[in-house]
């Protein structure tokens, strides 16, 4: 199971636009890797594999030192949103974190002196990037992150396993998310 990888070389299914066309933010390997604890990434990768062929989602909480960060799995309620007419996309192509689970995870983290560090989700059978749909969910009406100081983690998961992950952090100067490959210690 790779801790990182050149996901821009991941083959695409024959149908639909390439991931380059769907990408709102891509990884920039020239930025260097983000190193995260192995146990954290194993938990996120396991969640992504278990949810395949649908997207997984959750949050990463912890104190400032990444060594103590932990993943909190959340339910992807995107299929319910589609059934209600709130979205045209199903859980294979999008995610929406169950709001009650998110609120509970944040309350528990605050009670432990932890903060929200990242929101994670997987991309099914494609590369790790932030899609335009992901950006609409991450940004508020003012074009700024809804969760300032919180990164977005995207995992590329295929039927045969995880093929890479990206860390997308907001760049204030460029007013955009910039991606870096994730490596685990």
Kindly write down the DSSP assignment for every residue of the chain, as one continuous string: --S---GGGPPPPSSS--HHHHEEE-B-GGG-PEEE-HHHHHHHHHHHHHHTTS--EEEEEE-SSGGG-EEEEE-B-HHHHHHTTS-S--TTT---B-HHHHHHHHHHHHHTT-EEEEEEEEEETS-S-EEHHHHHHHB-TTSSBSSTT-EEEEEEEETTEEEEEEEEEEETTTTEEEEEEEEE-
Report for 10-19, 131-140, 153-162: range of highest mean pLDDT: 153-162
Give CA–CA dist 61/111, Å, rounded: 12
Does the pLDDT at position 52 exceed 50?
Answer: yes
Which residue ranges form the domains of the chain, and what is each CATH number?
25-159 (3.40.140.10)
Cα 80 to its chain centre, rounded Å, is 20
In this prediction, residue 5 has a pLDDT band, given cuts at 50, 70 and 90, of: very low
Q: Tens digits of per-residue pLDDT, 157-176?
A: 999 999 999 999 999 999 99
Q: Tens digits of per-residue pLDDT, 11-34?
A: 444 444 555 566 777 788 788 999
């Amino acid at each position: 199971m790779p801790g990182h990888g050149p996901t821009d070389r991941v083959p695409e299914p024959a149908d639909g636009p390439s991931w380059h066309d769907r990408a709102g933010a891509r990884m920039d390997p020239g930025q260097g890797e983000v190193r995260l604890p192995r146990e954290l990434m194993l938990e996120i990768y396991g969640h992504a594999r278990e949810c395949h062929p649908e997207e997984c989602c959750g949050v990463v909480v912890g104190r400032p030192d990444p060594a103590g960060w932990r993943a909190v799995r959340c339910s992807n309620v995107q299929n319910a949103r589609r059934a209600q007419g709130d979205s045209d996309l199903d859980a294979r192509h999008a995610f929406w974190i169950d709001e009650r689970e998110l609120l509970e995870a944040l309350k528990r983290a605050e009670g432990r002196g932890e903060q929200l560090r990242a929101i994670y989700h997987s991309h099914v059978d494609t590369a790790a990037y932030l899609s335009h749909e992901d950006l609409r969910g991450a940004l508020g009406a003012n074009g700024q992150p809804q969760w300032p100081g919180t990164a977005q983690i995207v995992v590329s998961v295929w039927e045969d396993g995880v093929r890479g992950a990206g860390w997308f952090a907001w760049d204030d100067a460029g007013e955009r998310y910039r991606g870096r490959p994730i490596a685990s210690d």
